[in-house]
Homo-oligomer: A and B are copies of this chain.
Amino acid sequence: MPHTQSISDKIIGRLSLYRRMLERGDSSGEPLDHVFSHELASMAGVSAVLVRRDLMTIGFSGNPKKGYNAGELIASIGAFLDAPGGQNACLVGVGNLGRALLAYFIYRRPKLPIAAAFDNDPELAYRVIRGCRCHPIHDMPRIIAQERIRVGIITVPADSAQLVADQLLRAGVTGLLNFAPVALRVPPSVYVDNIDMTTSLEKVAFFARQPAREKEVAK
């Protein structure tokens, strides 16, 4: 891969989705052998051309007779998306939402485990919550360095989110998945994905009231 002219955010998201659709297999759960672009497109809810373009950008080729080899495609997407030796993430804020996410992500992507959680509640310190060890905040620099963590998931209340983000970045994190409803202020070298559930709900409520003729899907 010589140049990799900075692949867009959206393409990465779709590749992740394609992989999951391929892993899930066909409607009866059987592993797929080959897929055509229009089949994968319909599973992922996008157009067939878009699938072909996306696969083009990772340099994966199909065959006009049989389509794309599913196993090879899963492997190619993995080679592109995943860190070769795996990659650890951490989560800060072990409240209701944090616990739900720990439970949600555990075992889901073995190459991208949540290796540590942090919370400032002393009750939680050093306990294992939903399969993940919880540490006090002041251990953050040590643990993040030890585990080589570069991804932080923020599930703290809005008021403390910026503070937590600053601490994570200082400890070496370079990508944030932020569930707090604030716009984090970070240097441009840091990637942030915001999941703002209140905005999402308000959007759905708004369009649910509109007469008709709408588009679907999002992200």
A residues whose Cβ falls under 8 Å from a Cβ of B: 6, 9, 12-13, 16-17, 20-21, 24, 43-46, 81-83, 87, 89, 96-97, 99-101, 103-105, 108-109, 112, 150-151, 153, 158, 173-177, 181, 183-186, 188-210, 212-219
Contacts and interface: CB of A to CB of B under 8 A. Distances in A.
- Give the dominant DSSP class at A's interface: mixed
B208 A173 contact: yes
A173 B209 CA distance: 10
B200 A195 contact: yes
B198 A20 contact: yes
Total copies of this chain within the assembly: 2
A219 B216 contact: no
B43 A181 contact: no
B209 A150 contact: yes
Given A214-B188, A218-B194, A205 B83 contact: yes
B87 A96 contact: no
A191 to B, nearest CB: 4
